[in-house]
Protein backbone atom coordinates (compact mmCIF):
# COMPACT_ATOMS: atom_id res chain seq x y z
CA UNK A 1 0.00 0.00 0.00
CA UNK A 2 1.15 3.56 -0.71
CA UNK A 3 2.61 5.54 2.16
CA UNK A 4 0.89 8.65 3.48
CA UNK A 5 2.23 11.76 5.20
CA UNK A 6 0.14 13.76 7.66
CA UNK A 7 0.94 16.60 10.06
CA UNK A 8 1.51 15.39 13.59
CA UNK A 9 -1.04 17.71 15.15
CA UNK A 10 -3.52 20.48 14.40
CA UNK A 11 -5.80 22.76 16.37
CA UNK A 12 -9.22 23.96 15.31
CA UNK A 13 -11.65 26.33 16.97
CA UNK A 14 -15.01 24.85 17.86
CA UNK A 15 -17.60 25.58 15.17
CA UNK A 16 -15.00 26.24 12.48
CA UNK A 17 -14.10 23.93 9.64
CA UNK A 18 -11.24 21.53 10.29
CA UNK A 19 -9.14 20.83 7.20
CA UNK A 20 -6.83 17.85 7.59
CA UNK A 21 -4.28 17.35 4.79
CA UNK A 22 -2.71 14.12 3.62
CA UNK A 23 0.01 13.48 1.06
CA UNK A 24 0.04 10.19 -0.84
CA UNK A 25 2.30 10.94 -3.79
CA UNK A 26 2.97 7.26 -4.58
CA UNK A 27 -0.68 6.22 -4.75
CA UNK A 28 -1.45 3.80 -7.55
CA UNK A 29 -4.46 3.73 -9.82
CA UNK A 30 -6.37 1.04 -7.93
CA UNK A 31 -5.86 2.53 -4.46
CA UNK A 32 -8.54 4.43 -2.63
CA UNK A 33 -8.03 7.05 0.06
CA UNK A 34 -9.67 6.10 3.37
CA UNK A 35 -10.03 8.23 6.49
CA UNK A 36 -10.54 6.84 9.96
CA UNK A 37 -10.39 8.47 13.36
CA UNK A 38 -9.68 7.19 16.84
CA UNK A 39 -11.16 8.94 19.82
CA UNK A 40 -9.09 8.33 22.95
CA UNK A 41 -8.16 4.64 22.48
CA UNK A 42 -11.59 3.64 21.22
CA UNK A 43 -11.79 1.51 18.10
CA UNK A 44 -10.92 3.25 14.83
CA UNK A 45 -14.04 4.76 13.32
CA UNK A 46 -14.57 4.88 9.56
CA UNK A 47 -15.23 8.37 8.23
CA UNK A 48 -15.13 8.42 4.44
CA UNK A 49 -13.30 7.10 1.40
CA UNK A 50 -12.83 8.05 -2.24
CA UNK A 51 -10.96 7.31 -5.44
CA UNK A 52 -10.71 10.51 -7.45
CA UNK A 53 -13.97 12.39 -7.12
CA UNK A 54 -14.77 14.51 -4.12
CA UNK A 55 -17.00 12.74 -1.63
CA UNK A 56 -19.34 13.94 1.10
CA UNK A 57 -21.28 12.14 3.78
CA UNK A 58 -22.94 13.10 7.04
CA UNK A 59 -19.61 13.24 8.86
CA UNK A 60 -17.20 14.90 6.48
CA UNK A 61 -16.09 15.83 2.97
CA UNK A 62 -13.10 14.43 1.14
CA UNK A 63 -11.33 16.51 -1.46
CA UNK A 64 -8.82 14.64 -3.66
CA UNK A 65 -6.52 16.58 -5.98
CA UNK A 66 -6.74 15.88 -9.69
CA UNK A 67 -3.36 14.13 -9.72
CA UNK A 68 -4.49 12.12 -6.64
CA UNK A 69 -1.23 12.84 -4.85
CA UNK A 70 -2.90 14.54 -1.92
CA UNK A 71 -6.27 14.91 -0.25
CA UNK A 72 -7.99 16.93 2.45
CA UNK A 73 -10.55 15.76 4.96
CA UNK A 74 -12.95 18.52 5.93
CA UNK A 75 -15.05 18.49 9.07
CA UNK A 76 -17.37 21.41 8.30
CA UNK A 77 -18.29 22.48 11.84
CA UNK A 78 -15.89 20.93 14.32
CA UNK A 79 -17.16 20.13 17.80
CA UNK A 80 -15.29 19.14 20.94
CA UNK A 81 -16.29 15.53 20.23
CA UNK A 82 -14.25 15.64 17.03
CA UNK A 83 -11.04 15.78 19.06
CA UNK A 84 -9.28 12.60 17.94
CA UNK A 85 -6.40 11.15 15.95
CA UNK A 86 -7.26 11.13 12.24
CA UNK A 87 -5.70 8.55 9.95
CA UNK A 88 -5.37 8.84 6.20
CA UNK A 89 -4.83 5.40 4.64
CA UNK A 90 -4.54 4.36 1.01
CA UNK A 91 -5.68 0.87 0.23
CA UNK A 92 -6.66 -1.27 -2.71
CA UNK A 93 -10.40 -1.60 -3.13
CA UNK A 94 -11.51 -5.02 -4.22
CA UNK A 95 -11.66 -8.66 -3.33
CA UNK A 96 -9.08 -9.98 -0.90
CA UNK A 97 -8.29 -9.37 2.74
CA UNK A 98 -6.63 -5.98 2.06
CA UNK A 99 -5.91 -4.98 5.60
CA UNK A 100 -5.36 -1.38 6.67
CA UNK A 101 -1.93 -0.04 7.59
CA UNK A 102 -2.18 2.72 10.18
CA UNK A 103 0.40 5.46 10.51
CA UNK A 104 0.68 7.94 13.35
CA UNK A 105 -2.11 10.14 12.00
CA UNK A 106 -2.93 13.73 12.87
CA UNK A 107 -3.98 14.57 16.40
CA UNK A 108 -6.77 17.11 16.01
CA UNK A 109 -7.60 19.20 19.05
CA UNK A 110 -10.84 21.16 18.88
CA UNK A 111 -10.60 24.16 21.16
CA UNK A 112 -13.62 25.83 22.80
Q: Which of 8, 29, 40, 41 binds other proteins (CB under 8 A)?
A: 41
Nearest to 79 by CA among 109, 42, 45: 109
Indicate whether 93 belongs to the interface with other proteins (CB under 8 A): yes
Indicate whether 100 belongs to the interface with other proteins (CB under 8 A): yes
Q: Which of 8, 29, 42, 112 binds other proteins (CB under 8 A)?
A: 42
For every residue of the chain, DSSP letters joined together read ----B--SEEEEETTSPEEEEEE-TT--TTEEEEEEEESTTS--EEEEEESSS-EE-SS-EEEE-TTSSEEEEEETT--GGG-EEEEEEEEE-SSS---------EEEEEE-
Indicate whether 8 belongs to the interface with other proteins (CB under 8 A): no
**Among the candidate windows 20-28, 55-63, 68-76, 91-99, which touches other proteins by CB under 8 A?**
91-99
Indicate whether 97 belongs to the interface with other proteins (CB under 8 A): yes
Q: How far apart are CB 27 and other proteins at their closest, in Å?
A: 17
Residues in contact with other proteins by CB under 8 A are 34, 38, 41-46, 49, 87, 93-104
Amino acid sequence: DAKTTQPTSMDCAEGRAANLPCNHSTISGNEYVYWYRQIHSQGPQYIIHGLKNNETNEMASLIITEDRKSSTLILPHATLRDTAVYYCIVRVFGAGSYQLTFGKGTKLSVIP
